[in-house]
Structure 1
């Protein structure tokens, strides 16, 4: 670049290069809109499809919202139940009432009543066989679910529908957790204001149905959240009812096998687990064959699920569980029911404590009585007969040693014919009127008339007692009259003594039932129980003192050495003199040796007794005693149907004989405490058949003299007795 003279460079424009042509600006290709999906078919089908989609969107929106709300409600309910669940230890003994353990006279257990609880057991310490049997039988997925098993419920519904039941009837598909929830009654406590009884409460807790299933779910989930699986199983093992009053597997193992649940083998565990399906039905004390068949099913499940090898399962089947000696005997059920009534309800039938009762029962004698009754019925009574019988055996002091309330063992609380059935006694009542005469001074050798007799009963008209044989013996001794069970003589004696006196003697001996007012009192028209009558005969054996039959020795709380209640019964006040009782014993011994009770005769042993047959043979009795025991037998129909060809001297006497033979096995023969009277000459008769009174006017046993001192019978009987004495050949003579 040049400069001018001024030193400045001339302004020269810079050479500029030609600008490069501008590149065209890149532009994005126009976006083509994605093709719209083809619309559905137009017209009615399109409208329907659109409506379905609309409904689906509404339902889906509703469903997930409802589900979310339901989940929150479920969580709230589960949380509520969770907060109400008590500590584990408080959940194990769920009984509302306690147990009563009954011991015999040798302190051996023979029966249980109430609900027994053997003590707390732990799922981790019980026999492994028992643990496995319960899980295999009740809930094989127990350790894998969260308290409920949808698969199990679906399977149960399918089974129920296939078998024609409702979907929730029968098989419930419940898990062990759900069953535990039922055992806990979903946390609802027993309230006497809402349920009439504990049985009704438990029935309500166990009932099924959709609403019950729905309520089980949150409670089961709460159990799973609160306790471990082992804890839940522990609750279940302790609370499950397993029949025969056993609550929990420990009580059941003790009840059936006499051992702890920690010690049972595979066969015993299978039988116990099998009870969960139907405790009473499968109870081995109810039906052993049925219990073993059910145990076989459980053993199969245990093998199938790998808890038993094939060899172990086969060994368990070949060696099934057996009952302990105490459980197998099943003796004394009727006695247990009766002796429970001897204590107060709050310590027996409704006790909330565990109680032990020591009793007078002799299991050997009980077995003897039961077997004798069964054997005689099998040999003497036609097959299919519904006739019943009862037996009572006691000591002379009233201690009951055996009691059979019916031909077959029955569940607790069944009708006991020995204590509950009030039946007419027939001629078995006659010893009491002879006791009155003997205590008044007459001798077994004194005489009484057996001739037709008619008594005018005010308001009823004439009444004429008849002898069973329809024959009359004339003038006979009191011994002969009792020996042959002569009715006319019995009525004469009763009327002479006075009915009030006869009633008083019978009542004082322990016949507590209401006694008849009319002259038929002498013939056993009154009703009584076998227990009362046997106790009254015990009073004759012990020398004439009243007896109150008793079975309770003492009652105490389990583990407590101090009895709460002691014996309530035994020998009471004297009723007749010892001499009178010994004379009466002699007279009754002749009944067995030569009279109507000869079929009761015991080989090589003295015995005394009396037959009894009521009008139309509706009841047949035999009661009697040896020097060691008193026994009574009753036979009849529950509906009062007349017996066919049976009298007290027949089958009842044979039952009595068999009972007493077996009861006295091993006991030495002892003589009866009896007095044999001096024989007396019969009265001298006038030509008209009357007693020649002058001949006997100075004799000490002249009846007219005694009648002046005797108490007047009830209902105007005093005048009647005097008329009988004076006008009908005389009642007594020496």
Structure 2
């Protein structure tokens, strides 16, 4: 065998190299994959062909084919739309993550003015005192018949009701029926705003489904009855029954229930204390709805038709509605950082409001609008007045709360125009400039943009004092180029502006939007010598047992200095000059040192005057809600006139506080003026406008001592009864 020639040949055959073995390995894998894919494709093809052959037995022809294809496409696009819409609705579900989402806003608040007199109520009571089963059956039926007849049959969205509403609206050629279910309306009340947009409707629909999945129908109905806005500044049927009929909700008649149910659609339009005939006509429609829904018979409602409800006459009451809305929001904010207040939801709040100043603010705004509004194409205005530490004493959020509850003093954002310039100049003073610094008033370009002066002319080299007095536009722009707009924004935030400022090239001349209340608070920093003065409304909060839960002078930190005192003195001197010799001469007050700045925006859309004395800081805005132009209304016209009318009254009969850094005797006009004495002013004033802090504390202490004495006397007479504050008032 050793000499076998075949074995010798085998020894001569070379062994495969490593590279060849690797190549063959991968070729084998490739062959396996190709074979597997081919077999898989063949199997799938056979399955599809078999499935297609099976479906051919059910192939639609003619009109049925068109309908089936339409349904198939509709389902496909419907699923795509569902996913897209769900993505838009995600932000709305953030609010549902809080465990206390049902009670976050549940406050029953009695508001007092700064002197302790009741000025209004706000809030909702969500407790077991009036459970759903004790609310009159007539009110529940009236609500369901008017707002959602199929409430117990749908899952949050009523497609049948929506389709019916669309048909009725098409027949009427307008909106006569709404398609929103009661659950959707509750979702809006709990989590959303009244914004009319597609995104809000999407969020509302998904939140309605979420509410239906997490709450029972009875819970949803109870929440709706407690949360619905009922006009007159009250929420919920319990508060509405007390406000409109001065009775407990359990005692409502059918006619009164129908009138309350009619408020859901348009509470301000059908509020009986505003328009009783309209409220009764609406109540009659509700009674008809109850008959049509077969919840009552015509015979059962005939008595309510013949004897409609009679509401309490509140025509003489002028409640500070805008202030109360804002004050309620401040209570909610306070509750988020005050555990005691967060637990006790029925409270009495003593506010900073001065009712006499509030009446004068309303009068000043209405008078100027009535005399000049139509002539100057201006239909809206707002005013906020505060003492220099930030305590708001008067607020006008619009011309009529009955027509619009939108608070233009707090929530509206408008361009301030030249009233923003003091932020630029005080920043300049803190960066090496002074009132006598010279800057050239000549054309300045930033890219393709160049600011123009109101007079369309240039003065050449001017001092900063003259530039601000005459409201020259080129100077603040030049200053911003020197030290940067970022420093201006930083100063504005430090002084009290809270909304985001856009860092644009036109920022120095007031292109970024601000609120009226923020402007009043920011200028208060000048009035108090350089301390930040955030606006506030709450002085003291007590629970239903009289226990003090919050007292501002004890629970708030000390004031923070944000501006150097010497720079504030320089700014005050200039802004006094604006009133004395500049664009705000109509704001002069006899015998009072006043400072401020006018502001007018492009196309005369916004007109401002923000001014202050040693006693008050007040901001006034005029314009139109739809942003249309006025007829050349400037800050030195209607706003300055309104400011002067209000502030002259506010300073009547009070001790004048010196403006920091400004001496009245150095002003020629004031030095020559014949000012009335304090005694003469008091004789013509109905009451002091603002008491000294020491006097306020003394009067409050006397009142508290008297209450304790009355309580002790009553306790001796009847150990089981302790008189309330109302009992004390009656005893007086």
**TM-score normalised by length of structure 1:** 0.54
**Which residue of the partner structure matches residue 283 of structure 1?**
271
Runs of at least 5 residues in structure 2 that lack an aligned partner in the other structure: 1-101, 143-167, 170-175, 177-206, 286-297, 667-732
CA contact (8 A) 1:612 1:621 kept: yes
* Structure 1 partner of 2:561: 574
User: Would you say the 8 A contact 1:483–1:591 is kept in 2?
Assistant: yes
Counterpart in 1 of 2:412? 421
- State the shift of 1:239 in Å: 13
Shift of 1:523: 1.2
Q: Structure 1 residues 485, 96: CA separation in 2 closer, same or farther (over 3 Å shift)?
A: closer
**2:351 paired with 1:359:** yes
Name the counterpart of 2:501.
Answer: 515
SS across alignment from 1:389? strand
State the match for 1:484 in structure 2: 470
SS of alignment partner, residue 654 of structure 2: coil
**Residues 241 and 351 of structure 1: CA distance in aligned 2, closer, same or farther (over 3 Å):** farther
Q: Give the match for residue 123 of structure 2.
A: 114
Question: Once the 2 structures are TM-superposed, how far is the Cα of residue 379 of structure 1 from its aligned partner?
Answer: 0.5
In structure 1, the partner of 2:173 is none
Relative to 1, partners in 2 of residues 1:426 and 1:335: Cα closer, same or farther, differing over 3 Å?
A: same
Q: What is the alpha-carbon root mean square deviation over aligned residues? A: 5.3
* Cα offset, 1:353, TM superposition: 3.7
Show the 5 A alignment for 1:16-165: 98-103=106-111, 104-116=113-125
Whose relative contact order is higher, 1 or 2, with alpha carbons under 8 Å and at least 6 apart? 1
Task: Please give the alpha-carbon distance, in whole angstroms, between the structure 1 residues aligned to 2:411 and 2:563.
Answer: 28
8 Å CA contact 2:439, 2:464 repeated in 1: no
Q: Report the 3-state secondary structure (helix = DSSP H, G, I; strand = E; otherwise coil) of the residue aligned with 1:403.
A: strand
For the residue of structure 2 that corresponds to 1:610, the secondary structure is strand
Q: Which residue of 2 aligns with 1:370?
A: 362
Q: Match of 1:218?
A: none
Q: Of 530, 538, 563, which aligns to 2:516?
A: 530
Instruction: Tell me what 1:448 maps to.
Output: 438
Q: 2:212 aligns with which of 190, 195, 199?
A: 195
TM-superposed deviation, 1:564: 6.0
Unaligned runs of 5+ in 1: 1-93, 123-130, 139-163, 171-189, 208-235, 308-312, 680-734
CA distance in 2, matches of 1:596, 1:240: 47
* CA deviation vs aligned residue, 1:472-493 (integer Å, no higher than 9, x gap): 2233332211111011222233
CA contact (8 A) 2:467 2:475 kept: yes
Partner of 1:667: 654
> What is the distance in 1 between the residues matched to 2:437 and 2:348?
55
The question of whether the paired residues in 1 share the 8 Å contact of 2:377 and 2:630 is answered with: no
Cα separation, partners in 2 of 1:416 and 1:347, compared to 1, 3 Å: farther
Q: 2:620 aligns with which of 628, 633, 636?
A: 633
Match of 2:421, SS state, is helix
Would you say the 8 A contact 1:530–1:634 is kept in 2? yes
What SS does the corresponding residue of 1:465 show, helix, strand or coil? coil
Alpha-carbon distance change, 597 to 201 in structure 1, aligned in 2, over 3 angstroms: farther
Contact 1:539 1:546 in 2 (8 A): yes
Of 315, 329, 333, the match for 1:342: 333
Shift in CA distance, 432/306, structure 1 to aligned 2, threshold 3 Å: closer
Match in the other structure for 2:424: 433
- Structure 1 CA distance, aligned partners of 2:240 and 2:303? 26
TM-score (normalised: structure 2): 0.54
1:112-137 Cα distance to aligned partner (Å, 9 max, x none): 33334899699xxxxxxxx9xx99x9
Residue range with higher mean Cα deviation, 348-357 or 461-470: 348-357
Q: Deviations over 1:219-268 (max 9, x none)?
A: xxxxxxxxxxxxxxxxx9x999976546567x5564347x6669x9xxx9
* Post-superposition offset of 1:631: 0.6
Q: 1:417 to 1:200 in 2, by over 3 A?
A: farther
Distance 1:362 1:338, change over 3 A: farther
Q: CA deviation at 1:102?
A: 3.9
Counterparts of 1:477 and 1:452, CA distance in 2: 13
Cα gap change, 1:343/1:671 in structure 2, threshold over 3 Å: closer, same or farther? closer
Corresponding residue for residue 392 of structure 1: 384
The whole-number CA distance in structure 1 between the counterparts of 2:230 and 2:410 is 30
Contact 1:548 1:570 in 2 (8 A): no
Assess, with a 3 A threshold, how the Cα gap between structure 1 residues 194 and 598 changes in structure 2: closer, same or farther: same
CA distance in 1, matches of 2:124, 2:216: 12
Which structure has the greater CA radius of gyration?
1
Q: 1:582 to 1:291 in 2, by over 3 A?
A: same
Q: Give the structure with the higher percent helix.
A: 2
